[in-house]
């Protein structure tokens, strides 16, 4: 099994899809900013921000398609919103109101899992069970780079390979396992590690949603065509701390944080589509209105 290069993942989205990618990224950013504001007010107990991960999440989720079942960790807010979880439902768990604010069966999006990598075993088992029942068995599971060091991840990859489970492992590698840098976690990339389990893989940068969309589209085609798992490692930048309880300034240099913020995937992609004439001022105004109304609803519901 080889780690596929970017040139092997050429599945470019059309212009309508590109606008959809940007819209979902902008909405996710607005919800994330409002959630962090509410947490500072004491309304939310905790919030793990997805800022910097939007391109990775939206690109992968859109590529997987609506028929797939998604098994998240706890940071996949952009994926949740794309799948149909409402902003109010998304924040409910973080206020302590419920264990899960949405109906997982309706949106085919599992509850968040706070236990590192536990969801990877759930995803593989679910895919195998669906296959045995003759049902749609394509499952996408999200995991962070730090969680890949857990034994559950190794067990899940081995079982997926042995059972030819239709699972797409999406690893969002932001370079930090809370405060532990990636170079102190592993000597190889996660994509390379997948080969040891007999799983084909690809490693891609995560600032451009089109690159992610292309890689995950090809991965989904591989899974459906070969009836075998696939792993995509997406290198992203973590703009904020691990959660709102994490003071990243203690262990990250100011230059590192500044570089990550300067490489913001949302503003970068917005500027790109604007420069290409795919979106104009009226389009941005409509999305800004949508985001403002969402933030007002969240304030009314929770503040």
First-to-final CA distance of the chain: 51
Q: Name the pTM for this structure.
A: 0.95
For 231, how many CA atoms within 13 A lie in the half-sphere containing its CB? 34
Which of 137, 140, 111 shows the shortest CA–CA distance to 234?
A: 140
Helix/strand/coil (H, E, C) string of 80-144?
A: HHHHCCCHHHHHHHHHCCCCCCCCHHHHCECCCCCCCCHHHHHHHHHHHHHHHCCCCCCEEEEEE
The predicted pLDDT at position 197 comes to 98
Query: What is the three-class DSSP state of 46?
Result: coil
Alpha helices in the chain (DSSP H): 15-40, 54-64, 77-83, 87-92, 104-107, 118-132, 151-162, 190-195, 209-226, 254-262, 265-275, 281-302
With contact defined as beta carbons under 8 Å apart, do 109 and 70 qualify? yes
Task: Round to whole Å and give the CA distance between 215 and 122.
Answer: 24
The predicted pLDDT at position 11 comes to 78
Beta bridge partners, 3, equal 201
With contact defined as beta carbons under 8 Å apart, do 251 and 99 qualify? no
* Tens-digit pLDDT profile for residues 217-242: 999 999 999 999 999 999 999 999 99
What is the distance, to the nearest Å, from the Cα of residue 178 to the centroid of all Cα atoms in its chain? 17
In the DSSP assignment, the letter for residue 5 is: P
Task: Round to whole Å and give the CA distance between 92 and 222.
Answer: 36
The predicted pLDDT at position 228 comes to 97
* Tens-digit pLDDT profile for residues 263-279: 999 999 999 999 999 99
With contact defined as beta carbons under 8 Å apart, do 19 and 62 qualify? no
Give phi and psi for 29, each to the nearest 5. Answer: -60, -40
Task: Round to whole Å and give the CA distance between 244 and 32.
Answer: 11
Beta bridge partners, 232, equal 170, 202
The predicted pLDDT at position 303 comes to 84
The predicted pLDDT at position 275 comes to 98
The predicted pLDDT at position 3 comes to 41
The predicted pLDDT at position 4 comes to 42
Task: Round to whole Å and give the CA distance between 158 and 152.
Answer: 10
The predicted pLDDT at position 72 comes to 98
Query: What is the three-class DSSP state of 259?
Result: helix
* Cβ neighbourhood burial of 267 (10 Å; 0-12, 13-18, 19+): middle
What domains appear along the chain, each with residue ranges and CATH number?
3-302 (3.40.50.970)
Q: What are the per-10-residue average pLDDT scores of the chain (303 residues)?
A: 41 94 98 98 97 98 97 98 98 96 97 97 98 97 97 98 98 96 94 97 98 97 97 98 97 97 98 98 98 98 91
Task: Round to whole Å and give the CA distance between 81 and 96.
Answer: 19
Q: How far is CA 52 from CA 12, 111, 187, 223, in A?
A: 22, 22, 24, 27
């Amino acid at each position: 099994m080889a780690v596929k290069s970017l040139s092997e993942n050429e599945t470019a989205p059309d212009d309508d899809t590109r606008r959809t990618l940007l819209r979902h990224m902008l909405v996710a950013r607005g919800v994330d900013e409002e959630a962090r504001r509410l947490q500072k007010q004491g309304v939310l107990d905790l919030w793990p921000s997805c800022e910097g991960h939007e391109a990775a999440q939206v690109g992968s989720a859109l590529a997987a398609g609506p028929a797939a079942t998604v098994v998240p960790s706890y940071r996949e807010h952009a994926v949740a919103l794309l799948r149909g979880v409402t902003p109010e439902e998304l924040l409910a768990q973080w206020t302590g109101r419920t264990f899960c604010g949405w109906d997982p069966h309706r949106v085919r999006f599992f509850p968040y899992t706070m236990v590192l990598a536990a969801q990877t075993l759930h995803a593989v088992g679910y895919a195998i069970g669906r296959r045995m029942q003759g049902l749609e068995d394509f499952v996408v599971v999200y995991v962070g780079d730090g969680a890949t060091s857990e034994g559950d991840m190794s067990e899940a990859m081995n079982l997926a390979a042995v059972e030819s489970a239709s699972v797409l492992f999406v690893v969002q590698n932001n370079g930090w396992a809370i405060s532990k840098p990636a170079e102190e976690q592993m000597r190889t990339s996660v994509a390379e590690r997948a080969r040891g389990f007999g799983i084909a893989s690809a490693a891609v940068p995560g600032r451009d949603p089109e690159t992610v969309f292309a890689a995950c589209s090809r991965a989904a085609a591989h899974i459906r065509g070969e009836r075998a798992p696939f792993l995509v490692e997406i290198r992203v930048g973590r703009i904020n701390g691990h959660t709102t309880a994490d003071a990243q300034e203690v262990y990250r240099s100011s230059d590192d944080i500044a570089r990550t913020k300067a490489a913001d995937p949302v503003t970068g992609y917005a500027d790109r589509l604007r420069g290409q004439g795919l979106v104009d001022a009226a389009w941005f105004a409509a999305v800004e209105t949508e985001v403002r109304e969402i933030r007002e609803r969240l304030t009314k519901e929770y503040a």
